[in-house]
């Protein structure tokens, strides 16, 4: 093998490594402003019953919120959210409760989702165990959609994330 080819290979490899390293260090972590579009009251239909959500505006390095699901005119599930700003970006802590505020998670445990990236009116989070991704998206001025993603096997290829609309909300006064 020609020494010029070997040197060229290592030069290209070095440039790729430096470029990737530089790109990783220049990426800015997200902020609560990236998800401030959640602010407000929202209502939709889920599993045959109404679902309502509400989030506060960013303040004090956090956004608080809840989702309430109703089935057969009775509470079915509550979710409480705390988005907290960290040096890596917003982190979502979620706890689920059955009627009577009976926690589905252990007392000291919450589901934790880490910020991955944001685009205009859209933010992507990933669960700590990397099993789920959530996209919050303001599709229209008065329509909020929460999508749930999971890794799907692709024939002969690398698994890819596929998303479905989990909740579709309309803004309410």
Q: Which tokens belong to 171?
A: 């803004």
At residue 120, what are phi and psi to the nearest 5 degrees?
-60, 125
* Neighbour-count burial of 169, counting CB atoms closer than 10 A to its CB (0-12 exposed, 13-18 middle, 19+ buried): buried
pLDDT (tens digit per residue) in 112-155: 999 999 999 999 999 999 999 999 999 999 999 999 999 998 88
pLDDT confidence of residue 140: 95
pLDDT confidence of residue 29: 82
By DSSP bridging, strand 62-71 and strand 133-140 are unpaired
Domain covering 29-172 in this structure, CATH number: 2.40.128.20
pLDDT confidence of residue 154: 82
pLDDT confidence of residue 13: 35
Distances (CA, A) of 45 to 12, 15, 145: 53, 51, 12
Place of tokens 């530089």: 22
Name the nearest CA neighbour of 78 among 44, 110, 106, 53: 53
Name the stretches of the chain with pLDDT < 50.
3-25
pLDDT confidence of residue 31: 97
- pTM (whole model) above 0.85: no
Domain boundaries, the chain: 29-172
pLDDT confidence of residue 27: 61
The secondary structure of 41-60 as a DSSP string is EEEEEETTEEEEEEEPPPBT
């Amino acid at each position: 093998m020609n020494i010029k080819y070997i040197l060229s290979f290592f030069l290209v490899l070095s440039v790729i490594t430096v470029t990737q390293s530089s790109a990783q260090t220049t990426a800015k972590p997200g902020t609560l402003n990236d998800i401030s579009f959640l602010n407000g009251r929202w209502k939709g239909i889920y599993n045959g019953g109404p679902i309502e959500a509400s989030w506060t505006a960013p303040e004090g390095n956090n956004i608080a919120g809840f989702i309430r699901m109703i089935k057969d005119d009775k509470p079915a599930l509550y979710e409480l959210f705390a988005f907290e700003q960290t040096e890596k970006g917003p982190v979502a802590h979620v706890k689920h409760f059955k009627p009577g505020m009976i926690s589905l998670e252990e007392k000291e445990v919450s589901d934790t989702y880490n910020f991955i990236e944001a685009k205009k009116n859209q933010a992507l989070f990933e669960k700590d165990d990397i099993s789920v991704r959530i996209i919050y998206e303001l599709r229209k001025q008065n329509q909020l959609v929460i999508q749930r993603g999971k890794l799907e096997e692709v024939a002969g290829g690398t698994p890819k994330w596929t998303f479905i609309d989990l909740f579709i909300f309309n803004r309410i006064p």
